[in-house]
Amino acid sequence: MASNQEQASYRVGEAKGHTQEKTGQVMGAAKDKACEAKDRAAGLAGHASGQGQGATDAAKKKAVEAQDMTSEMAQAAKDKTVESKDTGSFLGEKTEAAKQKASETAQYAQERSSDAAQYAKESAVAGKDKTGGLLQQATETVKGAVVGAKDAVVNTLGMGGDNATKTGKDNSTITEKITGDH
């Protein structure tokens, strides 16, 4: 028959095996969650970057269209002036009005372009901030899982709670190795 000491030794070995298995499972799950968070954050960053580029391209297109419209209006006014030299002051007034309208149109297009560029910049910054928050959240989740696994190992091996103070053992080195905190 096995002695009490042999039975206790067997139980300790069995508990250690269970603890190692559970620790491996927790670490695997934590690693999976960290990878998922990283992939999600990378996807959001790419999406925010794509939105910013689309807004910038749209702003450039609108600016080019406004410039083309201004050029067409100025050319039309010039053509009207050449055709009707006899109507002097009337045509001069219309030409001046056309120039004023063209100037206003160009100013409007420039303002819209500036607004679109600012929006694109703000969208990119917001995407970056959101990505950083997700990465921080993933980091905290992984740290929590590691600390939980460490506590389970320490408690299973009988090194947690009151046992640590009774034996006089210092578990800080084990905690530092598991969590990476120094």
* pLDDT, mean of residues 76-86: 62
What is the reported pLDDT for 164? 43
Q: Greater confidence, 76 or 165?
A: 76
Span 46-71, average pLDDT: 70
Does the structure show a pLDDT above 50 at 165?
Answer: no
Q: What are the angstrom distances between the C-alpha of 61 and each of 18, 44, 58?
A: 65, 26, 5
pLDDT(37) > 50 = yes
* Rounded mean pLDDT, 33-57: 74
Q: Which residue has the tokens 């219309």?
A: 94
Q: What is the mean pLDDT of residues 149-167?
A: 68
CB 73 within 8 A of CB 105: yes
pLDDT bucket at 167, cuts 50 / 70 / 90: very low
